[in-house]
Amino acid sequence: MTYVNTFIRIAEDCPTASGVVPASNRQLKPIHLLQYELLTGAPYTYTHDELLFEVNRRRDEVPEEQGEAYREQLLAKKHPCLRASMLPKKYGWGVHYNEQGKIAIYAAGTPDYQAWLTDSQTTVLPAMRNSRPGKSSSAAE
């Protein structure tokens, strides 16, 4: 799924009202931490498919020379969009897709985040909820 001129706001049941830097004490970094590192290190560099590829390539430690075959295999399957990422669901990061579908993230509660919510040229979508309405979000963790 590729969005253009779209901002994904944090989930309605996001446990934080501002952007929190994800952390992990695991040897294998979780996907949301890799997404955070790539998107804060190089805003508006990756499209959804490019981000998906780079996150998975790093996580699976695929050598550069095997990249194209890995990309074809990876992209042959369906993957969730960033509305389902833990960044806007749990860590308070809004996701912006520019006119070329390139992605950057913005911490909730910042002036930039607020500006995207009211930009008339941008479609605003909510991140997916962490739990169904009326259900406790602690069951999902």
What digits encode the pLDDT tens for the residues 16-30? 999 999 988 888 899
Would you place residue 140 in the very low, low, confident or very high pLDDT band (cuts 50, 70, 90)?
A: very low
User: Which of these, 63, 119, 66, 64, lies nearest to 96 by C-alpha position?
Assistant: 119
The helix/strand count (H/E) of the chain reads as 5, 4
pLDDT score of 139: 40
Asked whether the predicted pLDDT for residue 137 surpasses 50, the reply is no
Q: Tens digit of pLDDT for each residue in 109-119?
A: 999 999 999 99
Distance between CA 26 and CA 9 in Å, rounded?
28
Q: Edge to edge, what strands does the sheet with 123-126 contain?
A: 103-107, 93-97, 6-9, 123-126
How many whole angstroms separate alpha carbon 19 and alpha carbon 134?
25
Per-residue pLDDT tens over the stretch 60-105? 999 988 989 999 999 999 999 999 999 999 999 999 999 999 999 9
